[in-house]
A and B are shown apart, each in its own frame.
Chain A
């Protein structure tokens, strides 16, 4: 779950840094990435899964600490209320209140859809770092959603343990938030597009509060994540991200 949040956080911006001298591509990515390395975060989200003939809405709460720990609690709909996902480092568990069981998510399931959305478990848990595992190249500057952005290609380093062989990012010049991200596979085919909108200040940071994940090959499919409330950089212990805590959480 954490990288999802980290994405959010990465979007959270430090607008202050716009220095005068031109930044290199790697510096831009690093600066953008630093924003997701917030000490801790708490967010309240709504996820809308949109399909051509149906739509499903879930609400959830999410806690993260650093990059390695995260916990997500589903608060609606009623059928799924109380379900939780825990990520510690490279491992992931789910708590299913309806059968009172904790399940460890097998590595083979990481490519599966997370909660039926267009995000995979791997999107949420993926440890690969856009800073460390990729080489960066500034392509151009272009506006996205009225926000002048650096367009940066990140090409996977040889042997890097990554899912995407190329990622193209639109990083806002003003906020250093990622505004659009295109994910390409090893055949250079576009697989997913992530777009962010509605930059607001929440919990003391600037944040793109609406995020869309759009699979390239499925017209009419997308998943929307809307952030309602957020807090950052509060004290939270590692023991909060535990299986017993996951079971104990109630809305």
Chain B
């Protein structure tokens, strides 16, 4: 009965209803758009940028974090990693070795970051082939190496030339090797581009005399929001080792995201404020201009509580309508943006590249994001309803019948 009445009331004043619903829809569209692109960029950056440099989670020797020493290694054997591999949420596990060495060409030399992994697995995970700008990608048992483009330029080397690596191997042994360059890699981050030498893992283990040991097992889980629990599970499985997530491994990126997020949150509260007042004005008007109608209903014997319920139901309908419209408009847009991310160009892009991020802004389409924003918008609606409802509750019958207390 009340529901039917509420429904009819809505459509008695189509324009008012649609206006309120549109205000809600707009709030939802704007906030979802903003959050989704924000979170999408973070996820993209964490996923892409972190994949090569650090991965999401690493199992390391407890000393490695401080020392970065070739002496602090973990076993590479299958039985070591088996417990982690058994966790269902672990989608990738990659053995990696990293150290420093002197890289030398014919005429010059430079300190280099030596990274090694299993090329076939890394191709799938870190998408190293995308960074290849010359030559070919490595095979797992290659005795050739890949070189950062900047480093190659500094050493005056090109594909097919020979590169010397010289440094310190496991426990003070001399590490020296002569390798042919199979390809060049280009990274947006100058730190990698000017420093990186990439080796197939067996070759690096031979160079550094590490035997069947590696610097870290890099683990990946598909969903970022499972990270914390995965990390906890791993810490329990490997009490002897140190389990570190990307925020620990790449604190600069974590801080940048945190800062950016704070700025984004501020903008969002501003947005909610503006939209909230719009919504409040609409709702207020809706109750004030209907004082006479409410007066009549009360006079004909309607209970005040029932009246409030009626308004509540009407508002709920409007809310459903508003979110419905909002979702219908924004969802296709977001899905489009997810697959066709906004690419930044010009100076902005360069600025972002310098920070080591990808200059694209893909949208994140995740249920939790939608639910969050819908809940916030509905919360706003509820907040805006409090005052109008209170007004109706203490409405004076006589005044209302005259057209409202504000009239004469």
B174 touches A115 (CB 8 A): yes
Within 8 A of B (CB), among A93-124: 94, 96, 98-101, 103-106, 108-109, 112-113, 115-117
A56 touches B177 (CB 8 A): no
Assembly CA distance A105 to B172 (angstroms): 18
Assembly CA distance A179 to B277 (angstroms): 80
Assembly CA distance A79 to B104 (angstroms): 21
B176 touches A99 (CB 8 A): yes
Known: A104-B109, A105-B109, A108-B111. A117 touches B172 (CB 8 A): yes
Interface majority SS (helix, strand, loop, mixed), chain A: mixed
A113 touches B168 (CB 8 A): yes
> In this assembly, does A49 line the interface, its C-beta being within 8 Å of a C-beta of chain B?
yes
> In this assembly, does A90 line the interface, its C-beta being within 8 Å of a C-beta of chain B?
no
Assembly CA distance A108 to B100 (angstroms): 12
Within 8 A of B (CB), among A191-210: none
Give the total number of A-B pairs whose CB atoms are below 8 A apart.
Answer: 64
Q: How far is the CB of B222 from chain A (nearest CB, A)?
A: 38
> In this assembly, does B102 line the interface, its C-beta being within 8 Å of a C-beta of chain A?
yes
Of A79, A80, A83, A99, the contact of B164 (CB 8 Å cutoff): A99
How big is chain B's contact interface, by range? 10 to 19
Within 8 A of A (CB), among B163-191: 164, 166-168, 171-174, 176-178
> In this assembly, does A54 line the interface, its C-beta being within 8 Å of a C-beta of chain B?
yes
A106 touches B172 (CB 8 A): no
Assembly CA distance A117 to B108 (angstroms): 24
Residues of B within 8 A of A103 (CB): 102, 104, 109, 164, 166
Residues of A within 8 A of B111 (CB): 106, 108-109, 112
Residues of A within 8 A of B174 (CB): 79-80, 83, 96, 115-116
B102 touches A116 (CB 8 A): no
Assembly CA distance A94 to B171 (angstroms): 20
Q: How far is the CB of B72 from chain A (nearest CB, A)?
A: 11
**Which has the most chain B C-beta neighbours within 10 Å: A83, A104, A109?**
A109
A98 touches B176 (CB 8 A): yes
- With both beta carbons as reference points, the residue of chain A lying nearest to B102 in the complex is identified as A109
- With both beta carbons as reference points, the residue of chain A lying nearest to B166 in the complex is identified as A103
Residues of A within 8 A of B172 (CB): 49, 56, 115-117
Residues of B within 8 A of A98 (CB): 176
B110 touches A94 (CB 8 A): no
B108 touches A56 (CB 8 A): no
B173 touches A109 (CB 8 A): no
> In this assembly, does B314 line the interface, its C-beta being within 8 Å of a C-beta of chain A?
no
How big is chain A's contact interface, by range? 20 to 34
Residues of A within 8 A of B173 (CB): 56, 79-80, 116
Q: How far is the CB of B335 from chain A (nearest CB, A)?
A: 49
> In this assembly, does B71 line the interface, its C-beta being within 8 Å of a C-beta of chain A?
yes
Assembly CA distance A115 to B175 (angstroms): 10
A104 touches B164 (CB 8 A): no
Assembly CA distance A165 to B174 (angstroms): 31
A101 touches B171 (CB 8 A): no
Assembly CA distance A108 to B168 (angstroms): 15
Residues of A within 8 A of B109 (CB): 103-106, 109
Residues of B within 8 A of A117 (CB): 172
B166 touches A56 (CB 8 A): no
Q: How far is the CB of A37 from chain B (nearest CB, A)?
A: 31
> In this assembly, does A89 line the interface, its C-beta being within 8 Å of a C-beta of chain B?
no
Residues of A within 8 A of B164 (CB): 96, 99, 101, 103
Residues of B within 8 A of A54 (CB): 71, 171
Residues of A within 8 A of B167 (CB): 112
- With both beta carbons as reference points, the residue of chain B lying nearest to A116 in the complex is identified as B172
Assembly CA distance A54 to B172 (angstroms): 10
Assembly CA distance A117 to B176 (angstroms): 17
A-B CB proximity, top 3 nearest: A116-B172, A99-B178, A56-B172
| Interchain Cβ contacts under 8 Å between A and B, 20 examples | A49-B172, A51-B71, A51-B171, A54-B71, A56-B171, A56-B173, A79-B174, A96-B166, A100-B178, A101-B104, A101-B178, A105-B102, A105-B109, A106-B110, A106-B111, A109-B111, A112-B111, A112-B167, A113-B168, A115-B172
